Structure 1
Amino acid sequence: MKKVTLVLFVFVALLTGCNVEKTAIVCGREWNPNLEVVADTASEFEMKDQLIVQFRYGKNFDFAKLKTAFYEGTLANKGSEIWNHEVAVSEKMGVYTLQGKSRHGGLMTARELCRKKEPGPVVIEVSGDGKVLLSKQILLTKNR
């Protein structure tokens, strides 16, 4: 009985030690180029705020094409597609970051990246080989 308990304890310790990050869409204003990580600052952005979108899969990608699409509306009431971006990915990747350079210098603002002229909710949807993997809703607000 002691051996079974010891084996179970070792097995649970091994499983607990495996830290697999959950699949997530992270939206933020802060980009750390050294670590290539976006700080998840909020789901609400002023139109003038920088916006970086990062898809973290938690394991290596098991698909060849990754599509990020932006939609009008909310998760409950997704409207028309604003725009999308599709890229080829490999099984060596587990994270993809979408950011752009602004015409005015620096990183794109929320207004530029979401291609919105007016504040409101936006749905960001990530698909792998045509299968929706995750969606996230953000809110663009007026500049203060």
Structure 2
Amino acid sequence: MENSQAVETGNYVLVDYTGKFEDGKVFETTVKERALEAGIYEEAREYTPLFFRANASQVIKGLDKGVLGMKVGDEKTLKIPPGEAYGEYRDYMVQEIPLDRLGLETPPEAGEKITTPSGREVKVLASTETHATLDFNHELAGTILIMEVKLVSIIR
């Protein structure tokens, strides 16, 4: 019976999750009702369980390890430190880049996201007529994440 089996390394799983900050604000979910409730619903998005291989580095470490030992129907709340999520915030990842190297003719607005010539999306912290100060950290770097997880299925 599927319910009696626990997730092991290498199993393929389907999980529903809701990601929150420590203050309780929801930033991501696979559950449509939760997205509506939190005010983050996107009509174009499909709200379906996340599929991944357990403990195979396909998702953040804290979630990857967190599902191990769970059985179908189990729910748990994981408190994931930055080192097991999107890493620590690194000051050296904030860089001032000449606009011409970014292929920009006009300075971008502080707070907006731009795509670098290499295809990376980054946040603009400040800009002048000649340079833009860009933050190359992941937007959740340095953040403790709270993940409410429900194991929907183990696919063998």
TM-score for both structures, normalised by structure 2: 0.22
TM-score for both structures, normalised by structure 1: 0.23
Structure number with greater CO (CA < 8 Å, separation at least 6) is 2
Higher strand share: 1
